[in-house]
Chain A
Amino acid sequence: MTTTAAAAVEQAHRREWAFVLAATVRLVRDFDLAEECVQDAYATALTTWASDGVPARPGAWLTTVARRRGLDLLRRDSTFRRALPQLVVDEPVADTAELALADLDDPAIPDDRLRLISTCCHPALAPQAQVALTLRLVCGVTTAEVARAFLVSESTMAARITRAKKKIAVAAIPYRVPSVRELPQRLDSICAVIHLLFTTGHTAPAGEVLVRADLVDRSLQLARMMHALVPGDPSVAGLLALILLTDARRAARVDDDGNLCTLEHQDRERWDRTAIAEGIALVKHALPHTDRYTLQAAIAAVHDEAPTWADTDWREIIGLYRLLLRESPSPVALLNHAIAVGLAGDPAQALALLDPLGAEPALATYGYLDAARAAFLAELGRTDEAIAAYESALLLTDNAVERAHLSGKLVALTS
């Protein structure tokens, strides 16, 4: 009984945190107070659900409890209420408080989440703060976990989140859905945050496991939500497709012993065909638009559709990378294009493309450049140089699974 309740609370935390917080912020207009009330509501749920059973609509239950708590606190301390930073100016608390409790089934609630995300991704906040706030407020990830994802100390991250919240309150960054004119600029930022969340989870920068499943799941959830909110936006559709098509290979990326499996050696039976089908349908729909997410999703789709590694359509993949380099050039896209050229059977050409990238500051701490050079050097029999390149790559990752993989390659070359 207790375990059922705990599992239900955990599931509600994963699925409904953003809903509950967004609905509570709208009422109390203060992020810190709202967070406190939502945390209280989840804590109450743990005990109440264990004795009374799990409610039919856990999200609505939690929202009601969190908002009641918020109202109580506001009523108890009217001076505190007057001092509250005003996140919204168009609906005074006193007039709408009771009404607000009644609108839990309001279909406008998804807008609440969009408001929450838009506020976290406001261009007046530093990009790192945007991601940290989104993780903290929209995903309910603890400050300690956000700190770990960013490889900074918890106190540094706490200070960064506090500073961002303070700017929202003091500069009066509004809690609202952006206008149609602002939306494209804001959507870019929102997509970038979701994408960064995904890449951070897809291969964790540090730690014992390759994938931070919680971060990946949350990025997928956010991408789904954005796609539901703005179904016509091609870059949002492309981003959702990219996450689905890349994450579809999750189960095959490590073997039963926990060793890294590169795409070449993956058991394709383990790929998630449902996710692949959904991703491909989205890409097909989005593809006339050639934004960076859609093109990367299209590349992932070509890999996912190949029945075997040997059947990979490298010409198609190289063509898509060339398009990507034309539409939205980046050092990482240059690197991946060079790798595709090498895997298509031309390691010498790949090395010629990779060598100038050593001067890219953006790739200076990106171990995949050295790892790719090492693989092509080894293929060409330039063993000493390959060993040096693997050693450089090893210095640049703190992920245990990746380190073991690179060490294995190094041992194979030196013995």
Chain B
Amino acid sequence: MSQYLVLIYGDEATYAAYSPAESDDMLAAHRTFQQIAGAANLGGQALQPTVTATTIRHDANGEVVITDGPFAEAKEALGGYYLLEAPDLDAAIAIAAQVPAPTGGVEVRPIQVFAQP
């Protein structure tokens, strides 16, 4: 089995403008997805909007530089994730294709497994 991180990207402005009913629908869609994914879903969370993000880098001298905002500014921002377990990429795609992402899409990335010490 392999593990995949499913990164959910979308347009934050659209989500911010959701009515309470629309937000409820979105939550319901995710609950439906979680039922579909079953044991393949190892966990997942929604992220707070990118305005709450802080980016930390190190400058040439190794000093910590803290800036306001997400790592990459883009119209479609990272909004949440699921961690999936699947036999192969085709199986992971089949599950990830069910993740609700109405204003964007999802990125599927294999998790790197390091050898045990």
Residues of A whose CB lies within 8 Å of any CB of B are 89, 122, 124, 170-174, 176, 182
Residue of A122, A171, A176 with highest tally of chain B CB at under 10 A: A171
Query: Would you call A172 and B93 a contact (CB within 8 A)?
Result: no
Do B110 and A89 touch across chains, with their CB atoms under 8 A apart? no
B21 interface residue per 8 A CB criterion: no
Q: A172-B2, A172-B89 are in contact. List 16 more A-B contacts (CB 8 A).
A: A89-B88, A124-B89, A170-B110, A170-B112, A171-B108, A172-B87, A172-B88, A172-B110, A173-B88, A173-B90, A174-B88, A174-B89, A174-B90, A174-B91, A176-B90, A182-B90
**Which residues between 55 and 94 of chain B lie within 8 Å of chain A, taking CB atoms?**
87-91, 93
Considering the chains assembled together, what is the distance between the CA atoms of A227 and B88 in angstroms?
28
Assembly CA distance A172 to B91 (angstroms) = 10
CA distance A124 to B90 in the complex (A): 9
- Least distance between A405 CB and chain B CB atoms (Å): 47
For residue B1, CB closer than 8 A to chain A, the reply is yes
Who on chain B is nearest to A178 by CB? B90
- Nearest first, the 7 closest Cβ-Cβ pairs linking A and B are A174-B88, A172-B88, A172-B2, A171-B110, A171-B89, A173-B89, A89-B87
Give the docked Cα–Cα distance between A376 and B115 (Å).
Answer: 67
Q: Which residues of B contact A173 (CB under 8 A)?
A: 88-90
What is the minimal beta-carbon distance from B95 to any residue of chain A, in angstroms? 14
Interface size class on chain B is 10 to 19
CA distance A124 to B107 in the complex (A): 11
Q: Known: A170-B110, A171-B110, A172-B110. Contact between A89 and B90, CB under 8 A? A: no
Complex contacts, A182 vs chain B, CB 8 Å: 90
User: Whole-angstrom distance from the CB of A130 to the nearest CB of chain B?
Assistant: 15
**Residues of B contacting A124 in the complex (Cβ-Cβ under 8 angstroms):** 89, 93
Residue of A nearest to B109 (CB): A171
- State A170–B109 Cα separation when bound (angstroms): 10
Would you give 5 A-B contacts (Cβ < 8 Å), ordered by A? A89-B1, A89-B88, A124-B89, A172-B110, A176-B90
Q: Please give the distance in Å from B67's CB to the nearest CB on chain A.
A: 31
CB of A115 to closest CB in B, whole Å? 12
Q: Return the chain A residue nearest B93 by Cβ.
A: A124
Mask: chain B, 95-117; 1 = CB below 8 Å from A; 0 = not:
00000000000001010100000
